[in-house]
Amino acid sequence: MPSITFLACKNTYISNWYPDHNFSSSQALFVSQYQQTGDGYRSLLQFDLSSIPPGCTIEKADLLLSLYRNEVQSGIVNVSVHRLLNRWMEYASSWMNQPPLSASLDGSIAFESNSIPGIHSIDVSNLVRGWYDGSIANNGLLLVGCEEQNNLLAFRSSRYQNSDAWPQLAVKFIDGVLEIADKQELIIPAPPATSIIESGPIALGPRKIATFMILNTSSSNRVKVKIQLSFENHADAIFFDAGPWHSLQPQGYPGEALALSASEAAEYARVLCWGAGGEKLLIYPRSK
């Protein structure tokens, strides 16, 4: 799976105590309250995603921050990620002119007094998917901590001398648009019925790759599965084998889950399942 790690193209912090001051030259990104009421800090970041090729699917995106100062006194301090709704200028941003933010969270991470320095990760996959497909304007994000009590947290900015500690966005993606079909739950018929059952077919179309992730949730070691393809989809449709039978181990054993893929040209694909009877299988179809 391809991946790209982006460095922040803009990052700075703002201070409620110094509402008209710009801190873009600082080596730090502060969040939360420092010494007293009104002494709150927030941090702004932005990443340029233009180097991700068009027509991809974002699988996972993590915001990576390097913590070096932790003044949480007790309990848990949540640092939340909020999308920014307007553009902002790194060298002109201050508390007074900070851009508006979305009230909903796009990610969060909890810190305690014993949280250790180093890299900490925040899942921002949905936000990055929106930035990439254009459904969310990429104005960057805001980090907000607890601003009601003294519990300052500090991360390295891109002005810090060691680039390994700079803010990063790690993005994993799939080359092509991934189409996710509904999960299917199958129970193999018990004797005297034929102990075989097929999944519902998924439509493919031109130049599609089909993958079925199949999980055996039973204790039976007699389950086998294989992919079949067809040019039509109705009760009497003919399906053709696209490979041999593959065995699935019982739940709890290595190998009880299996991913089967087919890249042959066809209009529909499904999974044929065989067993002793009564086994429960979960099937997660994907195509791209």
CATH at residue 66:
2.60.120
Query: Per-residue pLDDT for 179 more than 90?
Result: no
How much is the mean pLDDT over the chain? 93
- The DSSP secondary-structure symbol of 115 reads P
Q: Are residues 74 and 137 in the same domain?
A: yes
Q: Are residues 190 and 87 in the same domain?
A: no
Task: For residue 35, give both structure tokens.
Answer: 């010494």
What mean pLDDT comes out for the span 234-259? 91
pTM, full prediction? 0.67
Listed residues 174, 201, 235: the one ending a domain: 174
Tally of structural domains, the chain: 2
- 67 forms bridges with which residues in the sheet? 118, 155
CATH number for the domain that contains residue 205: 2.60.120.380
pLDDT of residue 282: 95
What mean pLDDT comes out for the span 237-259? 91
Q: Are residues 156 and 235 in the same domain?
A: no
Listed residues 174, 204, 223: the one ending a domain: 174
pLDDT of residue 192: 77
- Each residue's pLDDT tens digit, 24-76: 999 999 999 999 899 999 999 999 999 998 888 898 999 999 999 999 988 99
What mean pLDDT comes out for the span 72-82? 94
Q: Are residues 26 and 127 in the same domain?
A: yes
Q: Do the beta carbons of residue 240 and residue 189 sit within 8 Å?
A: no
Q: Are residues 101 and 127 in the same domain?
A: yes
Q: Are residues 47 and 67 in the same domain?
A: yes
Q: How many residues comprise the chain?
A: 288
Q: Are residues 169 and 67 in the same domain?
A: yes
Q: Are residues 157 and 185 in the same domain?
A: no
Dihedral, CA of residue 111, residue 113, residue 114 and residue 120, to nearest 10? 20
- Percent of residues, the chain, with pLDDT higher than 90: 80
Q: Are residues 165 and 274 in the same domain?
A: no
Which of 91, 83, 241 shows the shortest CA–CA distance to 159? 91
Q: Which range has highest mean pLDDT (5-14, 54-63, 210-219)?
A: 5-14
Q: Is the peptide bond before 254 cis (omega within 30 degrees of 0)?
A: no
Phi, psi dihedral angles at 131 (to 5 degrees): -60, -45
- Each residue's pLDDT tens digit, 122-154: 999 999 999 999 999 999 999 999 998 899 999
Query: Per-residue pLDDT for 241 more than 80?
Result: yes
Type and span of the H or E element at 258: strand 257-262
Q: Are residues 94 and 113 in the same domain?
A: yes
Torsion over CA: 21, 165, 8, 99 (sign): negative
Q: Are residues 111 and 234 in the same domain?
A: no
pLDDT of residue 2: 80
Confidence of residue 162 (pLDDT cuts 50, 70, 90): very high
Question: What gap in Å lies between CA 26 and CA 40, rounded to an integer?
Answer: 16
pLDDT of residue 46: 98
Q: Are residues 185 and 161 in the same domain?
A: no
Listed residues 158, 174, 190: the one ending a domain: 174
Q: Which domain holds residue 16?
A: 3-174
Report helix, strand and coil shares of the chain as percent, to nearest 5.
5, 45, 50
